[in-house]
Amino acid sequence: MAEGLRERKKRQTRQYISDVATGLFLERGFEAVTVAEVAQAADVSVNTVYNYFPAKEDLFLDRSKGVIDRLSRWVRGRPDGESAAGAVLRELRDEVESVSPRVGLMDGYARFMKVVHESPALRSRMWAIGQEVLVNLEVTLRDETGASADDPVPALMAGQINWLHGTVMMTIGQRMVAGGRPAEVSRDTLLLLDEMEELLSEKVLNYAVRGAQ
């Protein structure tokens, strides 16, 4: 269904407010900028800002929704014969090898991470997002395997698989903040992924293979 004029204007307004806020946060730091200042710079009311962004943190981490269900989407989209861990490893390698900004491999990501590191509120929100990723993945693994609610294995497997994603994202962030170039960080992260895969047990690597009997 084509996007209507009203929906398009709302999306554009939301993006504009987010862009203005991000520029202010990058320039002055997250804690130093108020929502009222964002509203003034964007030429909208404070209520309008909160209509689009329930919390100040949402202004800076406005793309977190795509991260929260990322691992679940990868697992659900795996082809026949591929395990849950295999799907995540494959997708991560694809993102890293293509030097994708979706995993932080872009110029400017160091500034973004610097703002996060300097803000307790943003660090707390990033931790909460990580927990949502983990919970979503566990739910997906239960659905995909038909495991019962009291079966601990999906939660254990989710923790192992989420470790791959979390470690890659943390490593990329640290390397970019330290002055790494996207292509260089990409090459080193691909080697790290190989080492991480070797640390996973066969049980993890062969869990939830699509089409397996």
The 10s digit of each residue's pLDDT in 35-78 is 999 999 999 999 999 999 999 999 999 877 778 999 999 999 99
- pLDDT-based confidence at 213, cuts 50/70/90? low
Report the run of H or E that residue 83 belongs to, with start and end: none
pLDDT of residue 28: 95
- pLDDT range class, residue 2, cuts 50, 70, 90: low
Average pLDDT, the chain: 94
pLDDT given at position 79: 96
- What pTM, to 2 d.p., does this model score? 0.88
127 to 48, 94, 143, 170, 207: CA distances (angstroms)? 27, 25, 25, 12, 26
Task: Report how far residue 137's alpha carbon sits from residue 73's, in angstroms, rounded to the nearest whole number.
Answer: 9
